[in-house]
Amino acid sequence: MDPALEKSCLDCVRWHMYSSYDSEFCDGCFERLREVGTFDQAKVLQAMGLSGLNGTNQTKDDLIDYVKNIYDTQLAEQALAKYLYIYISPILLFIGTFGNILAAIVLTKMSIKSCSTCVYLAVTAIIDLLVLYIKCGNDWLYNLNGTNLSNILLVYSDTVCKVYPFAFNFIAHLAIWVLVALAVETFIMCGHPEKVRKMCTIERVRAILLLLTVLLVFVNVHFFWSFAKIPLSESFNPGTDNGQICTWTNKASEEFQSIMWPIMDLIIAEVVPYVIIVILITLAGLKLLKQKSKSAVEILNEHKYSLNPDAIIQLRKTFLIILVLHLILTIPKFSFYIYKYFVEVQKMRKFDREYQSQTALANAICSELVYGLLSCKFFIYAGTCKKFRHELKSILTLVYRIHRRKSNRRKSEQLMGKPILNKGILQKFEDDMRNGGINAPQYVKYDTDFTPPDETLEPLSKPVEHEEIITSV
């Protein structure tokens, strides 16, 4: 069997053939297999994770038809995973769009008035919105009609192939490390309230965000030379995406692709941040349990002219809830990746159709849990923080007043600038004016002579000077 053809077919099966609507994606691969003179049936079946055919004298066409028929049949787990993506994802995407936009606006305002730590949550709201559109939106379209926007963008140009992986990994890393910074300031609020005034400042928040941005750019900058568009074998996918795929280049060593970068990504994006967050929220919780409630309020009240004690007391509870929920709802996804790595790389289990369906369902459940957290943080803020509700109400009231003022101004301009088109209303108005009816305008009579409009007023014989007025006074 041609090595290039074998690699193309196996890659096709591993990444695309476990969805029913993708069965045509690899038809070119299977048709080319039919043209190959000799190939090892057992090797192909084993690599694809399938059991052998009944009987020993099976032809090449029987093998290929057997493989295609298996992949065209969905298992129950795979069908359920598809339904989760199709029906749950758009709801979360809709809620998350409005919720994160409102949360970012309110938290930005609160960072100025109440607590600078709210800047971290405002940045998190923007990142959550981006992740929802990139991941949740793409998963929804992919399972709905087979459109993978990420793959379309990746093969659009060589520049996009480099920028897109860099931007996505940078956003993912920044999101978790912003939560680490939030956990640090939450620990300070809970354990050392006397240091809040000096350590939790807007200048320090900006400096930390800048530092994280610079460091994470250096961590992910390798995508600009390690990723590129690479032409595929014509036997793999003829006529689709111009026969190209965005993946690792030869400039990146095999060790870096398979070992170094996965370990770096796991440590930077998962292990170290989670360990720090767990330690900090545990210490913060213990400090709150040991701390007398009055002592923290008294300490914060000493700086009431530079801090908002009530808001900080409310927000530290909100921060703890957000961090705990993040751990609870994202650890299943992290555990799933660890399990899948050991099963597939270390070959702890047979890579068969049943395993793929089960992992597809597990991945769907874990993904929807994460998407639910990203889209529903707004309700957590509103339910746990009175200050957030107050700021939200003031913003909505201001928006309503502005809208009402514009609406009234628009109506006034229409009444002043356009004639009355309804002749019946115009005739009724003229009759009322003529008869002095109830709708006629009432005029106040003054004991002064009325000058007709066609006559002009005579100017004063002598203009009144300011000096004369002052003299007369």
pLDDT score of 152: 83
Instruction: State the pLDDT at residue 374.
Output: 93
Most confidently modeled range among 73-77, 128-132, 237-241: 128-132
Residues 318, 384 contacting (CB under 8 angstroms): yes
DSSP letters spanning 72-111:
TSPPHHHHHHHHIIIIIHHHHHHHHHHHHHHHHHHHHHHH
pLDDT at site 295: 55
Mean pLDDT along residues 204-214: 92
Tokens of 203: 């200048």
Domains of the chain in start order, with CATH, are 3-71 (no CATH), 76-399 (1.20.1070.10)
Q: Tokens representing 405?
A: 């003022």
* SS3 at position 245: strand
187-200: pLDDT as tens digits: 888 877 777 777 87
Nearest to 377 by CA among 127, 196, 117: 127
Residue type, position 395, single letter: I
Q: Where are the beta strands (DSSP E) in 70-207?
A: none
**What type of residue sits at position 196?**
V
Q: Looking at the predicted structure, is the pLDDT value of residue 349 above 50?
A: yes
Instruction: Give the count of alpha carbons within 13 A of 418, CB side only.
Output: 9
Which tokens go with 314? 């409310």
User: Average pLDDT of 137-159?
Assistant: 85
Per-residue pLDDT at 111? 82
Position 368, amino acid: E
Predicted confidence (pLDDT) per residue in 33-91, tens digit = 545 444 455 555 554 544 444 444 455 555 556 555 555 555 677 788 888 999 999 99
What was the pLDDT predicted at 343? Answer: 74
Please report the pLDDT score of residue 369 as a whole number: 93
Task: Return mean pLDDT, the chain.
Answer: 73
pLDDT at 20: 34
* Distance (Å, whole) CA 300 – CA 305: 10
Among candidate residues 169, 179, 177, 178, the one with its CA nearest the CA of residue 220: 169
pTM score: 0.69
Assess whether pLDDT exceeds 70 at residue 184: yes
CB 170 within 8 A of CB 156: no
| Residue 368: per-residue pLDDT | 92
**431-459 residue pLDDT tens:** 666 665 555 455 444 444 545 555 444 55
Round to whole Å and give the CA distance between 231 and 46.
Answer: 27
Residue 145 has pLDDT above 80, yes or no: yes
What value does the mean pLDDT take over residues 371-394?
Answer: 91
pLDDT at 99: 93
| pLDDT of 242 higher than 80 | no
> Is there a contact between 293 and 337 (Cβ–Cβ < 8 Å)?
no
For CA atoms 175, 181, 186, 189, the dihedral sign is negative
pLDDT for 136: 92
Q: How confident is the model at residue 261 (pLDDT cuts 50, 70, 90)?
A: confident
> Is pLDDT at 236 greater than 80 in this prediction?
no
- The pLDDT assigned to 316 comes to 83
